[in-house]
Chain A
């Protein structure tokens, strides 16, 4: 038995969530969560549809800063003239997610909080029963690594690396009140509990403080449409000369490398990327190829920076 709720205010949504303690799921665009329901990976009793929270639908540009409601769809982000002008990095990242039709439903808040993926977890019930469940579901060990007691599922958000390099902060609402935290702090390097500060909380808005001087974005995937990322690299340089490079799809959380552009070398950059990425063979693309592509993409970005 399940129940469907469509609260009109955030307070109402939060109190519903506390009524159902751990037996609910927040529903944004729902394009990813529906598949989890069909594959019986989510069995929560209550569906709390957040589409009634109408004050989370707005895009506000204020000088060089930007405030996005969490329910703004990825398609709106791609086509909004103010975002194309100020933050083309974000527009390109949003345009690289899924297909044009899915982007009209999928929301930015949902993309930032997308569930981590793994080839041994995101499968049908029959597939998982035949192979044996991994530790993320009911089993005891990780099947990708052949028996480690740690989960290495990948974070696959494409807008997260873009917004992290733009130094974005998110507004998180809980029953205790509203809190603004840097976006990169909501991700934890753990394959099972990959979000922190988000327990019983609702992400309501995203704020990007300033326009970058320079930006770069590239996503690696098998097909040019629909596929989740195998490696996303976003890079931005801010007005103070700080370079931020963020890699996603290769570890349990986005990997940020932050350094003043004057002190940055390609060798140092690739070394710290390789050191921080806990990449395992849990994607359609082979592990060796994905590891090699980290170097290729970082090198590609470095060449564009050097040319300027």
Chain B
């Protein structure tokens, strides 16, 4: 085109990034890649392969190995062989390797960026400026963790062999998010990239060879979901880390239930983008571009639901449509393209399907006036208005460049709409009012909240979801914990054999049997403790409680699913507990201890009677329980979050806040009946959770005797709810309950597996003992290792500037 003509239109011209070096690299490998196992390339045992396609052209780029069972076995075996050496490698040495990985990524940054763009369809602008620099940054950050590990996490060790499965939307970056913390912590890795985008991982393997990483520390097996399933089910894998869809996450949870495999899941989202009437609307529009038209909208944390104040909605949408007209969709390797190609035909069709459904359900669809390229899988930026919260496109994750819009009138309504989702990955809040911004950020249930910004990432900040967006964090200190085995996480010694022939104090039996003289005792059978009062069990059945000698000691209510339902509702109604100050929660815990102490002899006798242990031994447990309450009270205002030092160009506070998980179902072990109950419930409520506790099935009276203690200790009704009855039946109801946010289970191996398996309908967090009794007097029960289970980290990014 001539300069004259260009001067007339002032249009943009082509600005292609050269594909030559990347194509030459592919050619040099014969456009064929094997499996990277034990530091070497190997062919799949059965010779199976698949093709990876350039979505911008629909043409194949390379042929890649499809790993089968023998290959996954070989990879896991290689990782297992390498584990001892790698975990024994000094932190400083591991730091050098991670540092070298960061450097290699930087040195080969353009090759990686171009490969990624060709394989995925994402724009070169993004791979060059975002994906690759963030990947390098992740390795730098975690080189630091390797260096500091021994001092920062004393007594911790690696989890072991980690199986990692990553998606196609950020292939290299997700690889970095997975491999960097795993290696820093001393784990060895078998990683499976997506079958749609394996090429940057292949290039990464070469970088590993270049830096001389010991063989077997990182193994990369390519393949589709079948390969992933082999990895998930492999008996010699100690942990699975998965990023992908919630549906697959659910399958993984079920498949690993009861295996003792650690699990971290980063799943889907339908993140709200909330614009208040006092926002900088032009900047908010640009935020939306970065939220939903970043990476073609194929982003788990994409701001896909625009919630805008009704008073500015029309202005906002007008600005947004103007902006959409100026977006550029096309050749991903063009440096002036905003939106590249959708990763695959299947994904393109899925997006188109949702758009059709949106229109059918009555929403108004708007797209810019210009066409997208006909060849390749291109989809235009799309916005839906007149969308009801009940619409399919408002509820389902579309994973494409499609924004749905709803309006709100008040901050409370904005929060209600924002939280009206099964997901909880991220949110973006736009207002110039700091009071409003922080208030909304605290109320939205999401692992990351960006104030006046969106889609900011950094190795120093944890990323991960609430609710069905998964559990576990990637990045920061909270991400390192996912790859570490705490000191207590070794099989404890079997419980001491129950003492036999212990003398039970006479007056206990006397109390039960009635006073001397034949006057019957006043029955004080405890009911359920729900909402701060005792309520009769739903069904009129009682459970008999026996002493160690088999004599009847008393009765408790036989709880059923309706009792659990009522308790969960009461626990939700008490959610204000989470907003109380740490000091206020501490005061209640101290008060409980204060009121327990004078009754220590009574509790000791009760414990002794139920368990057959000596009164002295039982008294020691009561004393330990009082001390434990003090510990939890002490922590209530001390287990703080952090301000992360993130690497962004603007001024920023990234506040990592420890938020309560919500309603926690706590299933207590039989013994120590009082100490375990006080430890678990104390930790949960110290951190602001509310609780539905199932006390020791065998010795429930230790907990039910606490009702009166609670009643006199200013514990708000509903913060602690107690349902007595059959342990595993009640545990199952809790695990299946979609409005319970976490279940902690102490009991049998089978019960643990059941809880993990049944937790998947809402992907609640679970913490089970796999049937291995814990030492309740050990340090873990006194500190952060325990408290970690009682919080979830929310990272609030607060850019600022006058």
Chains A and B come from one and the same complex:
no
